[in-house]
């Protein structure tokens, strides 16, 4: 029997550009009510060595390049983003998937690149979208209020119209506690067997995902 759980797929700590220490992020997400989460600092997995509950907080990384951001989930090794260029992403992902049990997807593809976020849009030349596992169509807290949610949704719909069967997910892209009342998007992932990182990865790979809205008042805070 498949059970669906709320899983956060996109988060950051002081090991990249977040304000959370690793233990603070872990505490914050447990208090929020997630069943599990992935730590995806920009271009490093160094923070994962500080995780105390590895049955809850899973390893990941956000490759941040000039051609787009990519969240890679499931591995605590520092997978080398410096080898990636605009045209070889698929080849690199295929080789990594032969070595590691990972899934990878386009992060916030609808953001317009600029001085504040260079490379945040997704401009990689992709020939076969089946080499990616998901598209993050909702990004950030109060994602319904920002333009890139609609643009990311259109990006995903375009792939569906072309016959690509690729799941949609959301990511809060957590960098710091949100002190305001908010509407959050949650990614629900279907797990077939006992809950674990491996089962969550398999659920994403098989497309057992859906997105829902959650209104919180007030937002969870550290106590």
pLDDT tens, 177-191?
887 767 889 999 999
pLDDT tens, 139-168?
998 888 889 999 999 999 999 999 999 999
What is the rounded distance in angstroms from the CA atom of residue 25 to the CA atom of residue 21? 6
What is the rounded distance in angstroms from the CA atom of residue 67 to the CA atom of residue 198? 29
pTM, to two decimals: 0.94
Q: How confident is the model at residue 222 (pLDDT cuts 50, 70, 90)?
A: very low
In 3-state terms the chain splits into helix, strand, coil percentages (rounded to 5) of: 25, 25, 45
pLDDT value of position 184: 87
C-alpha torsion angle, residues 82, 86, 90, 96 (rounded to 10):
0
Is the confidence at residue 223, as pLDDT, over 50?
no
Residue 221, CA atoms < 13 Å, CB-side half-sphere: 6
What is the rounded distance in angstroms from the CA atom of residue 223 to the CA atom of residue 216? 17
């Amino acid at each position: 029997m498949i059970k669906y759980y709320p899983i956060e797929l996109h988060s950051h700590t002081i090991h990249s550009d977040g304000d959370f220490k690793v233990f603070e992020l872990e505490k914050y997400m447990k208090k929020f009510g997630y069943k599990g989460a992935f730590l995806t600092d920009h271009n490093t997995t160094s923070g994962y060595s500080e995780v105390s509950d590895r049955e809850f907080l899973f390893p990941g990384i956000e490759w941040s390049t000039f051609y787009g951001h990519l969240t890679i989930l499931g591995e605590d090794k520092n997978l080398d983003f410096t080898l990636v260029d605009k045209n070889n992403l698929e080849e690199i992902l295929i080789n990594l998937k032969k070595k590691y049990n990972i899934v990878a997807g386009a992060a916030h593809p609808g953001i317009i690149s600029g001085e504040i976020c260079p490379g945040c849009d997704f401009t990689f030349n992709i020939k076969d979208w089946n080499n990616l596992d998901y598209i993050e169509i909702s990004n950030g807290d109060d994602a319904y209020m920002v333009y890139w949610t609609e643009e990311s949704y259109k990006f995903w719909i375009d792939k569906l119209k072309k016959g690509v069967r690729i799941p949609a997910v959301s990511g809060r892209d957590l960098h710091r506690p949100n002190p305001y009342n908010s509407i959050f998007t949650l990614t629900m992932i279907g797990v077939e067997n006992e809950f674990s990182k491996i089962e969550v990865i398999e659920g994403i790979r098989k497309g057992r995902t859906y997105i829902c809205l959650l209104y919180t008042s007030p937002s969870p805070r550290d106590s």
